[in-house]
Chain A
Amino acid sequence: MAQDAGATAGHGTEPWVGRAMPRKEDLALLTGNARFIDDLEPVAGLKHAAILRSPHAHAQITGIDISRATALPGVVGVVTGADVARVTRPIPSVVKVAIDYYPLAVEKVRFAGEPVAVVVADDRYIAEDALDLIDVDYEPLGPAVDVERAMRADAPVLHEAVGSNIANQRSISYGDPDGAFATAAHVVELPYRFPKYSSTPMETYGVIAQHEAMPERYAVWSNFQGPFVLHPLMAGALGVPGNRLRLISPPASGGSFGIKQGVYPYIVLMCAVSRVLGCPVKWIEDRLEHLSASSSATDRVGMVSAAIGANGELEALRFENICNMGAYIRAPEPASVYRMQATSNGCYRVRNIAVDNTLVVTNQMPTGLNRGFGGPQFFFALERIMDLAAKKLGIDPIELRKRNFIAKDQFPYDAPGGSLMDAGDYQSAVAKLEELSGYPALVARRDAAKAEGRLFGIGIACGVEPSGSNMGYVSLAQTAEERGRSEPKSGANTSAVISMDPTGAVTAHICTTPNGQGHATVAAQIVADRLGLDPDRIDVVTEIDTRVSSWSIASGNYANRFAAAVTSALAACGDKVAGKLRAIAAEMFDCAPDDVVLSGGQAHVPGTNKTVPVRRLAAAAHWNPEGMPEHTEPGIYETAVISPEVLTGPDGDDRVPSSVTYGSVFDLAAVEIDPATGRVAIEKYVSVHDVGTVLNPLIVEGQVRGGFVHGLGGALLEEISYDANGNLLSGTFADYLCPTAPEVPDLVIGHANTVSPHTVLGSKGLGDGSSMLAPAALANAVADALDLDEVDLPLTSHRVWQLVQGRKPVPSSIRPMPERAGDDAGDVPLEGLLRGSGTVVIDAPPAEVWAALLDPQGLTDLLPGCREVKAAGANRYEADVELGVAGIKGRYLADVSFLDLREPNSLSISGNVRGGLGHGRGSGRVRLEEADAGRTKLTYDYGADVGGKVAAVGQRMLGRVTEVMIAEFFDGLNAKLSGADPRSSGGGFMRALRRALRLLGVGGRT
């Protein structure tokens, strides 16, 4: 396609494209008039769903009793995995592996937060009341949480039919990487770890689903953002043809950043629920659900290596990536793993590249789209090794990159992985970066600060921004042979529809389901230029109704596809309408259509007095079909469907042109670290972008800033954390930390734009931006400040402080509780991450202590809040415990066994407790020794785990809580045997629960 500046250019009118027009969308949003999914009540008789979720990371479901829940007044019904397995089929992914993914757990749960049952009731309050009344029996299984441990032969297996947790492995190489590594002057290697983080839009997922029986079809309203390639998968799961699954997007969106792709399993789920229960159902995800079970980016660990020549030439790259897919491979994953494959050279001329991808399933939430989709992970590896190589070779990191950039005159550049990179001028861009950052002065400042012993560092990161995805690139997860067995897949069908009604009002339809990007504003600018109208006169419909919209598999909002692909469809469609208007005017004026110019709302022939309002031409098309020019259809309703011609399918060598445009981003971060606190202060952050033609500078700036803040969050704050048992630790915004305004430093933005030859307007996609580079740039800066090679994200003050202290930092992602003495799992047969021990001297001889411990009635007294203890077998007891303090109450069922009895010297205790707020299990050993004068020295050690809601909303205090609880139990024993009231010694359980409530960390202070 050739670049042009719009139909009206050259006629003396300033085009609308390129102007900083305020967003059409904002008035409704800012005045509270926008309508979101939760505002919709599209059908009568809506019922409300709430989802029961697994408190366990990995467990067999041995029974579900819904009778108490269904008996609750106001409850319509309860749907379980068995129902869903009956009415749906598993949702497939491109990886051919025996993983059945249903949106509701069937027989087994594989991550904490996985949906287990759905209650539907008259309102959400009742539905949530009923969740407490569903009794699920779980048989916990060993968890496989850490991605590297999950790969071991002895790891618990999530999907038995697969036989291991390694779901897929592919090695792809371009050129001769082995040869290049063998002969290179320098080889630099870096193990890396990229954390699991996500998107946190203000609006969470929402679905309204209605099943109709005659004929069998579904209507769904949901804030699903696409890609609509998932629509056939949803229809397939529901067992209906595509035209029987109608998806409708709400008029406004409360943000996404990728994550609204992940709502689609809930669309299938709520459709199934509506079908089983026979009523329309509405479900709005809450924040705890969102943070624990929506979706996240696919985190990685791996090794990156660079082969470098004597003069700093980058000769080869090797990436060994272990990708944590979570509990299932959920389509469109593993797309993020392969998105950067075709551009695995980054900004560089390197031709020899090896990429090894291992996809591993673990007991964590499944993954999906997140801003940058594979870019942040990829550029973290590539740009960290570039900075490290510069350091090892004693070359300035910018200079090293300059020596290796693809040159301006090499574009369009045929990258080793198959990308046809459209345009770029990386040398100018990086020169801009140096200029805006005052680079030489900044380096001098860094050197001076370091000479004073201060921790000051500079980090660089450069990257390309593939935009407008080829729908075929995902199939790189298959071998060429596997791909050969099915129809070729490529392209990115993109449509635009423009209609004019009899009054001349224009409506443009694009299937982009935007989430705040301002598509309507820019679309109106583009169409306005084509038709010579004011953008205010053009309404833009961006939402999709699959029953009426001209959608296709590539529809939706992802991969920066608006500027990279949709704009070309809009321009093409605008030209069709303009052509028709000119033809009608030419008929009136008796001139050639090419003589007619559309501008200022008029069609006119320059140099004549022939002029007619465009609205009259529109009216004529509706009112006077007879008067239409020959071969012209009446009415004005034009459709353009394009697929960028550069997007061909993968070839036999795994090369694929993955995207339409390849913008580029160049970031520099300068930081100073406070050694006392570990705080990373960003002294300077400069970001230079090539976005092609700027369509609207306001929107470009907004995207650039937003991408930066998302990357900043991943670099410094955000992480979805699990403990080694798979309990989620970051269930609220007190533990999942997003940047807020005070954390965002000044961002200096520059541009080095080159026009894309792949789009009509010359624009390139730009929404990912620094979300892909800020993690690498900031890690490089911190590594520079601390003179370290490896640094793990997020660079929280605590982790950086540990690095400053020269200590081993808390590992990323899988976070064990702090180590304690004797905590070696190898020699202590105790379960659990929360470990402790203690000693208490009791005023009674061992025999009495022994008897008290094993006496059910005694236990009733000892366990605070205990209503009843029943013997449930030999030395096994069930206790009904009510724990409560102030307004906080919960009933718990405790199941305790005494094992390994060596009267009166020692015994072991093992047990579990479950209730509404969570579950716990633990084991302990107790030793009794005769102390002086008829007294007993009791020593104990224990291990315990806590999961469920209490863990998810903040496990931070559980170690201390457990310690206190257990100490209080034995103090109570002492008090009892000494004749005192056991509860006077503290009600330790209550105090512990109070402590547990500190866990909530929910928001501010009363």
Chain B
Amino acid sequence: MKPVAFDYIRADDEGEVLEALAQCGSDAAVLAGGMSLGPMLNMRLVRPAVVVDIGRLAGLRSVDSEGDRVRIGATARQADIMADAGVAEAVPLLARALPHVGHYQTRSRGTFGGSVAHADPSAEIPLALVTLGGEVELTSAHGRRHVEAKDFFKGLLSTARRPDELITGTVWPKRQPATGYAFAEFAQRHGDFAIAAAACALHLKDDRVQSLRLGLGGVEDRPVLIDMSQFDEAEAPGDLALAIAEYAAGSLDPLEDMTASADYRRALTVSLARQVIDAAFEEART
């Protein structure tokens, strides 16, 4: 439970980080809140040559409203965003997902960028981002790019981030009118990695489904956005919620492990998907 020897850089500005990443690439590990990297280092599952600490970069912590989007800086703490009434108003799905993220203690240190970079298949922030159609902002010495969340998460703990890139922020679409948002998950204990999670954004027009976004987490090796186009223009849920949920669960290839069989994950998905569709519908209608 002691990490291997590594060089430690506590960066004072973004340029220093990007330079280190350009030089060291995959030999470098970026340290933000350290809630996952810390244990991985201690267990020697990761053995980086360099750890670049971005905790002191003031510029990465800001929350900015940009038109119909909200940009949340990479080192913004999960607990701070959870307490931010402006974010809760603008991105209600995120506000509903955040209480499920880890524990009180880990949220106080854990960051937005860290959660997105770590890409745990059960993580709530990536699931909310994928569901809303948000983006990940990546910066390298060569410049800045934005990657759509659904293309960013590549699999278990793997993302589209290149070794020389730093995740500098996430970009969240703001609340739309006549739209309901809901989040639900199931874990063995409060704060555990979700065995299954579901997030929903449902836009109604004249009591018909205008668009339905359903994201599922913890079930496959990354957050999955289910293609729901066949339900566009459908009548308001009611029994439809179950049909949609079963359709969604049926389109999955769930992970199987000692915590949960594929069947169990599928059954939980049906239950959770139904729950979020119903809740989102209720909200959209009012």
Chain A interfacial positions (CB closer than 8 Å to B): 124-125, 128-129, 286-288, 676-679, 717, 721, 729, 734-735, 737, 739-740, 742-743, 796-798, 801-802, 810, 815, 818, 884-890, 916-917, 949, 953, 955-957, 959-960, 991, 994-995, 997-998, 1000-1006
Closest to A916 in B: B44
- In the assembled complex, the Cα of A499 lies from the Cα of B102 at a distance in Å of 52
Question: Across the interface, which residues of B come within 8 angstroms of A991, CB to CB?
Answer: 155-156, 158
Q: Is the CB of B158 within 8 A of A994?
A: yes
Ordered by A's residue number, 27 sampled pairs between the chains whose C-beta atoms are within 8 Å are: A125-B4, A128-B44, A287-B1, A288-B43, A678-B264, A717-B189, A734-B193, A737-B188, A740-B190, A798-B195, A798-B259, A801-B264, A884-B26, A887-B48, A888-B47, A890-B47, A956-B259, A957-B156, A960-B255, A994-B157, A995-B157, A1004-B36, A1005-B102, A1005-B114, A1005-B123, A1005-B125, A1006-B111
Chain B interfacial positions (CB closer than 8 Å to A): 1-5, 26-29, 32-40, 43-49, 78, 101-103, 105-106, 110-111, 114-115, 117-118, 120-121, 123, 125, 155-158, 163, 186, 188-193, 195, 221, 255-262, 264, 267-268, 271
Given A888-B47, A955-B258, A997-B156, CB of A125 within 8 Å of CB of B40: no
Q: Is the CB of B33 within 8 A of A1000?
A: no
B118 shortest CB reach to chain A, Å: 5
Q: Is the CB of A1002 within 8 A of B186?
A: no
Interface of B is mostly: loop
Question: Across the interface, which residues of A come within 8 angstroms of B48, CB to CB?
Answer: 887
Question: Across the interface, which residues of B come within 8 angstroms of A717, CB to CB?
Answer: 188-189
Instruction: List 18 other contacts, CB 8 Å, given A125-B3, A679-B186, A1004-B35.
Output: A286-B1, A678-B264, A743-B189, A797-B186, A885-B158, A886-B29, A890-B47, A956-B259, A997-B40, A1000-B43, A1003-B36, A1003-B38, A1003-B39, A1005-B36, A1005-B106, A1006-B32, A1006-B36, A1006-B111
- In the assembled complex, the Cα of A679 lies from the Cα of B110 at a distance in Å of 28
Q: Name, among B190, B257, B258, the residue most crowded by chain A CB atoms within 10 Å (CB to CB).
A: B258
Q: Is the CB of B39 within 8 A of A1006?
A: no
Q: Is the CB of B261 within 8 A of A818?
A: yes
Given A991-B155, A994-B155, CB of A129 within 8 Å of CB of B45: no
A123 shortest CB reach to chain B, Å: 8
Q: Is the CB of B189 within 8 A of A917?
A: no
Q: Which residue of the partner chain, among A287, A677, A998, A1004, contacts B156 with CB atoms under 8 Å?
A: A998
Q: Name, among B49, B111, B121, B259, the residue most crowded by chain A CB atoms within 10 Å (CB to CB).
A: B259
B214 shortest CB reach to chain A, Å: 18
Q: Is the CB of B115 within 8 A of A1000?
A: no
A891 shortest CB reach to chain B, Å: 11
Q: Is the CB of B256 within 8 A of A959?
A: yes
Q: Name, among B45, B118, B189, the residue most crowded by chain A CB atoms within 10 Å (CB to CB).
A: B45
Question: Across the interface, which residues of B come within 8 angstroms of A887, CB to CB?
Answer: 26-29, 46-49
A782 shortest CB reach to chain B, Å: 16
B280 shortest CB reach to chain A, Å: 19
Closest to B256 in A: A818
Q: Which residue of the partner chain, among B78, B115, B261, contacts A798 with CB atoms under 8 Å?
A: B261
Q: Is the CB of A1002 within 8 A of B40?
A: yes
Question: Across the interface, which residues of A come within 8 angstroms of B2, CB to CB?
Answer: 124-125, 128
Given A991-B155, A994-B156, CB of A798 within 8 Å of CB of B47: no
Q: Which residue of the partner chain, among B26, B114, B257, contacts A956 with CB atoms under 8 Å?
A: B257
Q: Is the CB of B118 within 8 A of A1006?
A: yes
Given A742-B189, A888-B47, A994-B155, CB of A1002 within 8 Å of CB of B267: no
Question: Across the interface, which residues of B come within 8 angstroms of A739, CB to CB?
Answer: 189
Q: Is the CB of B47 within 8 A of A1003?
A: no
B264 shortest CB reach to chain A, Å: 5
Q: Is the CB of A956 within 8 A of B258?
A: yes
A288 shortest CB reach to chain B, Å: 7
Q: Which residue of the partner chain, among A743, A796, A798, A1005, contacts B120 with CB atoms under 8 Å?
A: A1005
Q: Is the CB of B193 within 8 A of A1000?
A: no
Question: Across the interface, which residues of B come within 8 angstroms of A810, CB to CB?
Answer: 258, 261
Q: Which residue of the partner chain, among A676, A886, A959, A1005, contacts B271 with CB atoms under 8 Å?
A: A676
Q: Is the CB of B267 within 8 A of A676?
A: yes
Question: Across the interface, which residues of A come within 8 angstroms of B261, CB to CB?
Answer: 798, 802, 810, 818
- In the assembled complex, the Cα of A917 lies from the Cα of B268 at a distance in Å of 33
A888 shortest CB reach to chain B, Å: 5
Question: Across the interface, which residues of B come within 8 angstroms of A677, CB to CB?
Answer: 186, 268, 271
Given A991-B155, A991-B158, A1006-B110, CB of A1001 within 8 Å of CB of B193: yes
Given A286-B1, A677-B268, A991-B155, CB of A1004 within 8 Å of CB of B260: no
- In the assembled complex, the Cα of A810 lies from the Cα of B260 at a distance in Å of 10
Question: Across the interface, which residues of B come within 8 angstroms of A889, CB to CB?
Answer: 47
Question: Across the interface, which residues of B come within 8 angstroms of A128, CB to CB?
Answer: 2, 44
Closest to B161 in A: A886
Question: Across the interface, which residues of A come within 8 angstroms of B190, CB to CB?
Answer: 740, 742-743
- In the assembled complex, the Cα of A815 lies from the Cα of B259 at a distance in Å of 11
- In the assembled complex, the Cα of A959 lies from the Cα of B221 at a distance in Å of 13
Q: Name, among A124, A717, A818, A1005, the residue most crowded by chain B CB atoms within 10 Å (CB to CB).
A: A1005
A55 shortest CB reach to chain B, Å: 14
Q: Which residue of the partner chain, among B27, B34, B47, B221, contacts A1006 with CB atoms under 8 Å?
A: B34
Q: Is the CB of A960 within 8 A of B221?
A: yes
Question: Across the interface, which residues of A come within 8 angstroms of B259, CB to CB?
Answer: 735, 796, 798, 956
Question: Across the interface, which residues of B come within 8 angstroms of A818, CB to CB?
Answer: 256, 261-262
Given A129-B4, A734-B192, CB of A888 within 8 Å of CB of B118: no
Question: Across the interface, which residues of A come within 8 angstroms of B111, CB to CB?
Answer: 1006
- In the assembled complex, the Cα of A818 lies from the Cα of B265 at a distance in Å of 14
Q: Is the CB of B36 within 8 A of A1002?
A: yes
Given A717-B189, A737-B192, A1005-B115, CB of A995 within 8 Å of CB of B221: yes
Q: Which residue of the partner chain, among A129, A917, A949, A957, contacts B257 with CB atoms under 8 Å?
A: A957
Q: Is the CB of A953 within 8 A of B45?
A: yes
A204 shortest CB reach to chain B, Å: 10
Question: Across the interface, which residues of B come within 8 angstroms of A798, CB to CB?
Answer: 188, 195, 259-261, 264
Question: Across the interface, which residues of B come within 8 angstroms of A729, CB to CB?
Answer: 258
Q: Is the CB of A1003 within 8 A of B268?
A: no
Closest to A957 in B: B257
Closest to B51 in A: A887
Q: Is the CB of B46 within 8 A of A888?
A: yes
Given A742-B190, A818-B256, A887-B28, CB of A1004 within 8 Å of CB of B102: yes
A670 shortest CB reach to chain B, Å: 21
Q: Is the CB of B271 within 8 A of A917?
A: no
A631 shortest CB reach to chain B, Å: 60
Q: Is the CB of B46 within 8 A of A998?
A: no
- In the assembled complex, the Cα of A131 lies from the Cα of B20 at a distance in Å of 30
Question: Across the interface, which residues of A come within 8 angstroms of B186, CB to CB?
Answer: 677, 679, 797
Q: Which residue of the partner chain, among B39, B43, B110, B267, contacts A949 with CB atoms under 8 Å?
A: B43
A187 shortest CB reach to chain B, Å: 36
- In the assembled complex, the Cα of A991 lies from the Cα of B101 at a distance in Å of 25
- In the assembled complex, the Cα of A546 lies from the Cα of B190 at a distance in Å of 45
Q: Is the CB of B256 within 8 A of A1005?
A: no
B73 shortest CB reach to chain A, Å: 15
Question: Across the interface, which residues of B come within 8 angstroms of A740, CB to CB?
Answer: 189-191
Q: Is the CB of A815 within 8 A of B36?
A: no
Q: Name, among A729, A949, A994, A998, the residue most crowded by chain B CB atoms within 10 Å (CB to CB).
A: A998
Q: Is the CB of B26 within 8 A of A1006?
A: no
Closest to A815 in B: B258
Q: Is the CB of A1006 within 8 A of B1?
A: no
Please provide the 10 A-B residue pairs with the shortest distance between their CB atoms, ordered closest to farther.
Answer: A1006-B114, A956-B257, A1004-B106, A1002-B39, A887-B48, A286-B1, A1004-B102, A995-B156, A742-B190, A1004-B35
B163 shortest CB reach to chain A, Å: 7
Q: Which residue of the partner chain, among A796, A890, A953, contacts B188 with CB atoms under 8 Å?
A: A796
- In the assembled complex, the Cα of A1003 lies from the Cα of B33 at a distance in Å of 12
- In the assembled complex, the Cα of A886 lies from the Cα of B41 at a distance in Å of 13
Question: Across the interface, which residues of B come within 8 angstroms of A890, CB to CB?
Answer: 47
Question: Across the interface, which residues of A come within 8 angstroms of B28, CB to CB?
Answer: 887
Given A717-B188, A887-B26, CB of A1005 within 8 Å of CB of B156: no
